[in-house]
């Protein structure tokens, strides 16, 4: 195969294992013994000897100087004096000008021929071998060597040292991670050789070792003259989420985010930027670990030193809302001093569930200082205290028995809340809604938003409670009916209910009376079988109890000729102790928890005992 054929196939050389020498051994072997000439006259050389003498005396592994005879697209042809040119890949030339035709180049001879008849050569191996002694010396002595960053590769950087390619791992580029390795391309760095692999032709270098050694020297010198409390100059080198690293003469010191300012700092770039020159105070310096911490806020007075003088308790102060939490709002009074407005201190009159109902972040507000805890650096503020407390004059504006008008604001199971003025609400308990009806829920008689006239029946200023009465605005119907009825009077009334214990009838003023089973003329256990709702009865008033609001009636009293059936009489004698029955139905507040039916059942039992 000709050289031109190799050009078409893009041949770049084959491994030594595949190289097969086709040159005669007597041509290539430099040790071949020539024919001994006679002392009389030189012997003539044979054709084979003349052919062998036409080739240079080369050995495998030699570094040979060749000449570039042709430059192809992906390869370079190099004449090293053999019958065929060697082929080098273009990638072996770092500088493309080195591959110009006519230029000399040193190559390593790996094989005299490959399977295509071309010598196998390598420029990379020749460069490596020529630089090997220097690299070995630098590696053993741990000396620094200059390295030029060529490009970024996976895991680090490709650099050139002494004309050879080397690898600089990303972890060995600097003392701290470098955000963008591309910024180093083309720069000259000083590195140390970490390892060399002759077989793989790999060189690994480190810049970090050089920096650490230099920094150790600078750190030793710095620690010899540095004291805690010193104020020194520094330049911000790097900013992180937790602080900034400051260069204090070749050594990095940590300026933690908590030492930037007395006030809360979310990110260091709120206070400092890369390149800023600062006056800082040395907070700690440990020669064993080499760590130095510095502070910026320590150069200014602590804002809490005179906080009690600047913000006296009871005084009004202005501030900016910085944070809203479920339990309250934080207000910045000045840099480094914040106070808390608890949610309970926001309004005299409104029920606040979240501070956002009244406040917004960055809002400028006026507050009152309620308490200062200098030791724990806490200030309690009040918002509602900037306005008069509507309850402070409640005992002067209102009194028991006074009629007031208000709007129903809330309906609860136990009663209704009525606003009688802004910030002042009173409660109408269910028992105070109606004289005659047993109210189970306030919505049975009232509606939200309804305006009602009530009477104040209780004031508790300390606990901020006013008790209102709705039924008290009208005359008690039991008082009215007590003027019209007396025990022994005969009335006509219609049946409105037929419970098991007897019959409930309607009287005047929406008052109900009760006729026990024992006082029914028609007798029997089941009144529903003998009486009907709406039926009118003639009845005799047998008892009026104003204290317990009871009216008992009897139909049997108007018909004495009717005898009690023997079965019913025997049943009464067999009933258990009536005292236990009475205790079962009694409650502390009979007007609230007893119906008229309950009261008259007790009355019936008492009459049975008398019989």
Q: What is the pLDDT of residues 199-228, one digit of tens each?
A: 777 889 999 988 888 878 888 888 888 889
The sign one gets for the Cα dihedral 305, 309, 313, 317 is negative
**Residue at 218 is within a domain:** no
- Please give the Cα distance from 113 to 109 (Å, whole number): 10
C-alpha separations of 192 from 146, 252, 274, 295 in Å: 9, 22, 29, 35
| Beta strands at 252-256 and 243-247: parallel, antiparallel or unpaired | antiparallel
User: Are 30 and 57 in contact, with CB atoms under 8 Å apart?
Assistant: yes
Mean pLDDT value of segment 246-273: 89
**Residue at 235 is within a domain:** yes
Provide the pLDDT for residue 239: 92
Residue 587 has pLDDT above 80, yes or no: no
Same domain (yes/no): 437, 402: yes
Q: Is 417 helix (H, G, I), strand (E, B) or coil?
A: strand
Same domain (yes/no): 257, 370: no
Domain count, the chain: 6
**Residue at 192 is within a domain:** yes
Q: Which domain holds residue 62?
A: 3-125
Same domain (yes/no): 492, 603: yes
Which of 127, 130, 121 is closest to 76 using CA atoms? 121
Same domain (yes/no): 496, 580: yes
Q: Which residues contact residue 475 at a Cβ distance below 8 angstroms, ignoring those fewer than 6 apart?
A: none
Q: Which residues share a beta bridge with 78?
A: 68, 86
**Residue at 132 is within a domain:** no
- Please give the Cα distance from 436 to 549 (Å, whole number): 9
DSSP secondary structure letter of residue 212: H
Cα-based angle 575, 580, 586 (whole degrees, multiple of 5) = 125
Which of 591, 238, 226, 289 is closest to 433 using CA atoms? 591
Mean pLDDT value of segment 20-41: 42
Provide the pLDDT for residue 42: 54
Which of 402, 403, 404, 406 is closest to 450 using CA atoms? 406
Same domain (yes/no): 312, 295: no
Domain boundary among 269, 299, 329: 299
Which of 389, 384, 385, 390 is closest to 420 using CA atoms? 390
Provide the pLDDT for residue 256: 94
Per residue in 442-495, pLDDT (tens digit) is 888 899 999 999 999 998 888 888 999 988 888 878 777 877 888 888 888 898
Same domain (yes/no): 250, 322: no
Task: Indicate the average pLDDT of the chain.
Answer: 80
Provide the pLDDT for residue 32: 40
Domain boundary among 67, 96, 125: 125
Domain boundary among 473, 498, 531: 473
The pLDDT > 70 percentage for the chain reads 82
- Please give the Cα distance from 285 to 253 (Å, whole number): 9
Same domain (yes/no): 358, 412: no
Structure tokens that stand for 344 in this block: 């309970």
The pLDDT > 90 percentage for the chain reads 25
Provide the pLDDT for residue 564: 60
Q: Is 14 helix (H, G, I), strand (E, B) or coil?
A: coil
Q: Which residues contact residue 160 at a Cβ distance below 8 angstroms, ignoring those fewer than 6 apart?
A: 94, 147, 148, 150, 166
Residue 570 has pLDDT above 70, yes or no: no
**Residue at 116 is within a domain:** yes
Residue 64 has pLDDT above 50, yes or no: yes
User: Are 418 and 428 in contact, with CB atoms under 8 Å apart?
Assistant: yes
Q: Is 226 helix (H, G, I), strand (E, B) or coil?
A: coil
Structure tokens that stand for 363 in this block: 């809002």
How does residue 562 score in pLDDT terms, banded at 50, 70 and 90?
Answer: low
Q: Which residues contact residue 584 at a Cβ distance below 8 angstroms, ignoring those fewer than 6 apart?
A: none
Residue 324 has pLDDT above 90, yes or no: yes
Q: Which residue has the higher pLDDT, 370 or 499?
A: 370
pTM above 0.85, yes or no: no
Per residue in 342-365, pLDDT (tens digit) is 998 998 877 788 999 999 999 999
Q: Which residues contact residue 338 at a Cβ distance below 8 angstroms, ignoring those fewer than 6 apart?
A: 263, 264, 322, 330, 331, 332, 379
Provide the pLDDT for residue 243: 93
Where do runs of H (alpha helix) occur along 205-276? 208-225
Q: Which residue has the higher pLDDT, 582 or 457?
A: 457
**Residue at 276 is within a domain:** yes
DSSP secondary structure letter of residue 272: -
Q: Which residue has the higher pLDDT, 144 or 255?
A: 255
Same domain (yes/no): 281, 358: no
Same domain (yes/no): 165, 114: no
Q: What are phi and psi of 317, to 5 degrees?
A: -135, 155
**Residue at 480 is within a domain:** no
Same domain (yes/no): 115, 147: no
| Beta strands at 337-342 and 378-382: parallel, antiparallel or unpaired | parallel
How does residue 5 score in pLDDT terms, banded at 50, 70 and 90?
Answer: very low
Per residue in 8-21, pLDDT (tens digit) is 333 333 334 333 33
**Residue at 481 is within a domain:** no
Structure tokens that stand for 260 in this block: 């930037």
Same domain (yes/no): 537, 433: no
CATH number at residue 344: 2.40.50.140
Per residue in 73-104, pLDDT (tens digit) is 888 898 888 888 888 888 888 777 778 888 88
Same domain (yes/no): 19, 120: yes
Structure tokens that stand for 67 in this block: 């000449």
Which of 92, 118, 102 is closest to 67 using CA atoms? 102
How does residue 524 score in pLDDT terms, banded at 50, 70 and 90?
Answer: low
Q: Which residues share a beta bridge with 491?
A: 539
Mean pLDDT value of segment 122-140: 79
């Amino acid at each position: 195969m000709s050289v031109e054929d190799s050009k078409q196939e893009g041949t770049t050389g084959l491994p030594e294992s595949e190289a097969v020498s086709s040159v005669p051994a007597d041509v290539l072997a430099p040790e071949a013994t020539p024919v001994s000439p006679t002392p009389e006259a030189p012997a003539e050389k044979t054709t084979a000897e003349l052919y062998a003498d036409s080739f240079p005396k080369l050995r495998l592994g030699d570094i040979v100087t060749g000449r570039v005879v042709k430059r192809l697209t992906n390869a370079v042809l190099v004449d090293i004096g053999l019958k065929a040119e060697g082929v080098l890949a273009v990638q072996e030339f770092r500088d493309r000008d080195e591959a110009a035709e006519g230029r000399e180049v040193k190559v390593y001879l790996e094989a005299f021929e490959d399977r295509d008849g071309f010598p196998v050569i390598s420029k990379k191996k020749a460069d490596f071998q020529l630089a090997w002694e220097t690299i070995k010396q630098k590696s053993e002595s741990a000396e620094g060597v200059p390295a030029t960053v060529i490009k970024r590769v996976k895991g680090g950087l490709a650099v050139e040292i002494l004309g050879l390619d080397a690898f600089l791992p990303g972890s060995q580029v600097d003392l701290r991670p470098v955000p963008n390795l591309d910024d180093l391309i083309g720069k000259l760095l000083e590195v140390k050789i970490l390892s060399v692999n002759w077989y793989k032709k790999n060189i690994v270098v480190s810049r970090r070792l050089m920096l650490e050694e230099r920094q150790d020297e600078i750190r030793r010198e710095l620690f010899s003259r540095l004291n805690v409390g010193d104020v020194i100059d520094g330049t911000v080198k790097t900013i992180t989420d937790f602080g900034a690293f400051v260069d204090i003469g070749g050594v990095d010191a940590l300026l933690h985010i908590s030492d930037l300012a007395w006030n809360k700092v979310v990110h260091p770039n709120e206070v400092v930027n890369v390149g800023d020159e600062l006056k800082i105070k040395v907070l700690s310096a440990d020669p064993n670990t080499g760590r130095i911490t510095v502070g910026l806020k320590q150069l200014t007075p602590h804002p809490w030193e005179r906080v009690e003088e600047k913000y006296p308790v009871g005084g009004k102060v202005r501030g900016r809302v910085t944070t809203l939490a479920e339990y309250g709002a934080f207000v910045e009074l000045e840099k480094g001093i914040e106070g808390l407005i608890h949610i309970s201190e926001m309004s005299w009159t409104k029920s606040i569930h979240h501070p956002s109902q009244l406040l917004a972040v960055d809002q400028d507000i006026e507050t009152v200082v309620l308490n200062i805890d200098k030791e724990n650096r806490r200030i309690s503020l009040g918002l509602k205290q900037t306005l008069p407390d509507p309850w402070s004059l409640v005992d002067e504006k209102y009194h028991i028995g006074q009629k007031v008008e208000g709007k129903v604001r809330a309906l609860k199971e136990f009663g209704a809340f009525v606003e009688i003025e802004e910030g002042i609400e009173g409660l109408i308990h269910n028992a105070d809604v109606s004289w005659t009806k047993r109210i189970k829920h306030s919505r049975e008689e009232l509606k939200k938003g309804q305006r009602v006239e009530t009477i104040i029946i209780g004031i508790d200023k300390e606990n901020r409670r006013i008790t209102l009465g709705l039924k008290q605005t009208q005359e008690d119907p039991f008082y009215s009916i007590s003027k019209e009825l007396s025990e022994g009077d005969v009335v006509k009334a219609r049946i409105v209910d037929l419970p098991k214990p007897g019959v409930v009838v309607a009287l005047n003023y929406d008052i109900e009376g009760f006729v026990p089973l024992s006082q029914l003329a028609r007798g029997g256990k089941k009144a529903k079988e003998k009486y009907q709702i709406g039926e009118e009865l003639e009845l005799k008033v047998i008892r009026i109890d104003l204290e317990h609001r009871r009216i008992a009636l009897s139909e049997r009293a108007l018909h004495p000729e009717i005898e009690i059936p023997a079965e019913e009489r025997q049943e009464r004698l067999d009933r258990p102790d009536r005292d236990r029955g009475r205790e079962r139905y009694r409650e502390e507040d009979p007007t609230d928890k007893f119906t008229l039916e309950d009261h008259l059942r007790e009355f019936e039992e008492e009459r049975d005992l008398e019989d």
